[in-house]
Structure 1
């Protein structure tokens, strides 16, 4: 197919020589100096022409509603397509045959289908090719969606509309502007954005989630939820979903996601609907959809909610069509992606690609995550990916968000940052502070990072917990200061370490780091432990500071090779295992305890919403 000609918004060109550069952006709402991310994504090949060539196909899904599909097609034909070539594909589902030959209304059903076919055949589409696909059997709404499109290339886009939709004359110009700005503009492109919905945002699928509210100045934002009332789909994520769907459907895996309203829909309607499948996929991958927000309940795509699969009887239009006469002055303003807000299924704002690469950037991240003047520093070194994912599922369940992550630079760690977990970019951070000159062995780098973060926490007057990822909180009460008479606590076996902000005035900046490094180096020479807690304890004892040793047996359950038939029991707030415990044993024990809450896709089994 020949790509359309574009007459607006020139494409930002990037040469192949800069494909490896990391892109720096961060959400503008964070205070102070924003951190620079390191998303580690691959750019799309950029077109040498300033006007990108791409194919745009409209997919209309219809069944037995002649008046609906007529209204839908007329609104599509009335849109402004500039001078572009746009293709129309209409998929007409067949009525269910069953015992149709003996049915008294078979002739009526045939007449309804044939009238739709006659209308579609005669409908004039002057903007490109028209294709009509009339099915020989009833396949239902799920197959209508899933079988409507397999992209021919990474430059083919589809806009899917069900037959009870009506679109604004402005919809196409808006979507092509969005494609140019957020798909072909490399500074705005992210492979984890799967498309754009033109429907008015109204629904939060996570149970007990936040109310969906936007301020009057927001025109575009990102939200995980797919929109079925006028959804633009990007080619790569759709292909990825189709393969994922095939794998799960063939193996009998259901799209259950606890805590989501859509799971109840699926249990009631089964394979009549497709959205629970896509929602489960999006949750697994951590992908996002672009949404519009216009005032006075206006939208570029409106559902009339006619009687059908989703509605027992007609409910009427959900919004008001947006016309040229009611445009706002900033309607065509496509903001940089870094200025847009991102929301998960609970409509909780997240901040993707937060990767701290310098000491100066650290302060703004600590300010943004701290809760009750407390920050948890979580070390991921030496912890399996499965255990880390399970840890974050528990953090979400317990409504624990006030943490920063310290871990080795890897695709996995950067994927955590992409999903909104604040990460410290270890190598770049250590280079920025000159830490490589202080510690003699590479094994000590993790401890140095923790020391720098602890120093910043105390300078910012925050309490700090330092924990390793080989632990699992089972109670949110774990990270609560329990004995104000001590500035520091240390766990003998769990490496749980606490520093009170009351010690802040005794932290002397670079001298604190230098003394920490000196102590660590001396322990290395003596071939002693260089764990963070041990180094800090020795350093504090040298300063004459008393450290309280925690009685972990009262609140920690330790997993090891000898323990079987364990139970959490009363008062247990944490499960812990040593770093040399095999990951398969850890998973087995956590499953026995009922606290392994990761599914086969390595994502949380549930979405847990906590209202802000």
Structure 2
């Protein structure tokens, strides 16, 4: 645009308009970046662990116990930090008050005494920060609001004020972080931190007592420990987002079968642990614990009177000192050597995933019970139905199962949580002799797994899909089948039972014939190995017995005649592949067989003592 000389007013007016326009555009851009329309949720999938230059901050949670706080701080300052920088943050909750409170002056003086003590306390190992609240928020907020990780290399160690620490606690924590967090070959996404308290409590009702041999010094256990808890950054951030979503929507941390649920129903949001336990149960995460002789530990709770104890109960353990016989523990075992325990203190074995022929035998051996196995295909089955099936396995104490399915994140997650799985795609690739057969991958893998199980003298049930156990008797051998037959095949869905005595028939040539038959019948019998095996066995004169699954099952496909009750002899529910998922879910629900919540997690923890 041309501007005539001498028209200064027009020039400056134009300049002002352009400037305002630029400012408005920049403001809109800035606001859209600060407050995007879609919430930004951190990506928890990719975790870089390339640096050991991490920070550790101690978070002390205190209220009105000056003597307890003094003892805690003295023990922390006496610890060995080996010239590392360790920060100290002290969170002081405010006392409760009202205008009618006659003890306000005393409470104010007590608070000032605590503040004076904290102000005068020297912390020479790093930054000291004091957060004095303006109102009483309680123990739950003290924990949940103490930390939001700013990086994947920031760790916190949370202690309540009645905790006393061993002089060696930091060296041990540092060793855990270096060995089990930063060592990529020795770490696991299932670990959320470490507790230094002595393990004493099993939250699952009727669970096993904690029993560990003296050689076990470090193990993994799902339960969070509040008496000295190290927290890893990413799981804690994940929990905080989960908590916000559930608390905002009015959900409760109810998990049937857990003692902690009773605590929550009695104390409500005075405590935070039921929320974290519910989260851990949903995610399948674990905590590192220690086990030392003579009831010793690196962290001791004096169980002073407060929120958790009406009156002082005294120390729960004996504190490990630097010169004690228990101090020689800094050598940490590889993660693969450690034992893992769930909320029932029942051992689980994570990462049992079969990807090749030579890995099959050890996994089958670890999964079988009483020389019996259940092989379950999850191909073309929704994750929701598989999770509901797992809840029934837990309810029935069926633990001799192996899942098989295509390569997927879900299959990997099942393995991470302790369920044995077979990666069909990878396993098939390892069987070079069948590589030319392109369309019956799952059938071939099933046939090979059955062959291996029979060779190992294991009986095996094989489920294709669309079946849910109601009782465990049929699959655990309580229901006696005709011993004259080596194989049983159901007439309706091809449910297959193979007895170990049939190993002479189920040979490698038999597997080859099944593969060829599967390829020639592609579409009709693509995934029904029971139907295929039945056809071959009849041709070969094998000891085969057919049965009607209706003798043991309830069919939820039945329309208006569907009964919302189960017979005493019902062992499983079944339905056809073309039945709508909503109908299946509703009918399982009417039978009391839909036992997962809206997020596809078991509604209960059910313990079966060993």
With normalisation by structure 2, the TM-score equals 0.90
User: Displacement of 1:42 after TM fit?
Assistant: 4.5
Q: Tell me what 2:260 maps to.
A: 262
Q: Quick check: which has more Rg, 1 or 2? A: 2
* Residues 461/421 of structure 1: CA separation in 2 closer, same or farther (3 Å cut): same
Q: Tell me what 1:582 maps to.
A: 580
Q: Secondary structure at the match of 2:193?
A: strand
Task: Give distance in 1, aligned partners of 2:382 and 2:347.
Answer: 28
User: Displacement of 1:121 after TM fit?
Assistant: 0.9
Moved more, 114-123 or 156-165: 114-123
Q: Tell me what 1:36 maps to.
A: none
Q: Tell me what 2:451 maps to.
A: 455
Task: Give distance in 2, aligned partners of 1:102 and 1:518.
Answer: 87
Q: Does structure 2 retain, via aligned residues, the 8 Å contact 1:382–1:579?
A: no
Q: Does structure 2 retain, via aligned residues, the 8 Å contact 1:44–1:186?
A: no
Q: Does structure 1 retain, via aligned residues, the 8 Å contact 2:428–2:435?
A: no
Q: Tell me what 1:142 maps to.
A: 140
Q: Tell me what 2:530 maps to.
A: 533
User: Displacement of 1:512 after TM fit?
Assistant: 2.3
Task: Give distance in 1, aligned partners of 2:282 and 2:79.
Answer: 36
Root mean square deviation of aligned Cα = 1.7
Q: Does structure 1 retain, via aligned residues, the 8 Å contact 2:488–2:544?
A: yes
Moved more, 488-497 or 86-95: 488-497
Q: Tell me what 1:194 maps to.
A: 192
Q: Tell me what 1:423 maps to.
A: 421
Q: Does structure 1 retain, via aligned residues, the 8 Å contact 2:195–2:230?
A: yes
User: Displacement of 1:561 after TM fit?
Assistant: 6.8
Q: Does structure 2 retain, via aligned residues, the 8 Å contact 1:205–1:260?
A: yes
Q: Tell me what 2:87 maps to.
A: 87
Q: Tell me what 2:553 maps to.
A: 556
Q: Does structure 1 retain, via aligned residues, the 8 Å contact 2:467–2:573?
A: yes
Determine which of 102, 123, 126 is the counterpart of 2:124: 126
The 5-angstrom pairing of residues 366-377 of structure 1 reads 366-377=364-375
The 5-angstrom pairing of residues 157-172 of structure 1 reads 157-172=155-170
> Mind listing any 5+ residue stretches in structure 1 that lack a counterpart?
1-39
Q: Tell me what 1:56 maps to.
A: 56
Q: Tell me what 1:465 maps to.
A: 461
Q: Tell me what 1:74 maps to.
A: 74
Q: Does structure 2 retain, via aligned residues, the 8 Å contact 1:58–1:160?
A: yes
* Residues 323/527 of structure 1: CA separation in 2 closer, same or farther (3 Å cut): closer
With normalisation by structure 1, the TM-score equals 0.89
Could you list the per-position Cα deviations for residues 19-58 of structure 1 after superposition, in whole angstroms to 9, with x for gaps in the alignment? xxxxxxxxxxxxxxxxxxxxx97552413xxxx2111110
> Mind listing any 5+ residue stretches in structure 2 that lack a counterpart?
1-43
The 5-angstrom pairing of residues 365-404 of structure 1 reads 365-404=363-402
The 5-angstrom pairing of residues 496-511 of structure 1 reads 496-508=495-507, 510-511=508-509
The 5-angstrom pairing of residues 468-507 of structure 1 reads 468-479=464-475, 480=477, 481-507=480-506
User: How many pairs does the alignment contain?
Assistant: 563
Q: Secondary structure at the match of 1:540?
A: helix
Moved more, 483-492 or 267-276: 483-492
Q: Does structure 2 retain, via aligned residues, the 8 Å contact 1:383–1:579?
A: no
- 4+ long deviations beyond 3 Å: 40-43, 327-330, 526-530, 563-566
Determine which of 101, 104, 111 is the counterpart of 1:103: 101
Moved more, 283-292 or 189-198: 189-198
Task: Give distance in 1, aligned partners of 2:233 and 2:435.
Answer: 48
Task: Give distance in 2, aligned partners of 1:435 and 1:43.
Answer: 39
User: Displacement of 1:482 after TM fit?
Assistant: 2.3
* Residues 88/431 of structure 1: CA separation in 2 closer, same or farther (3 Å cut): same
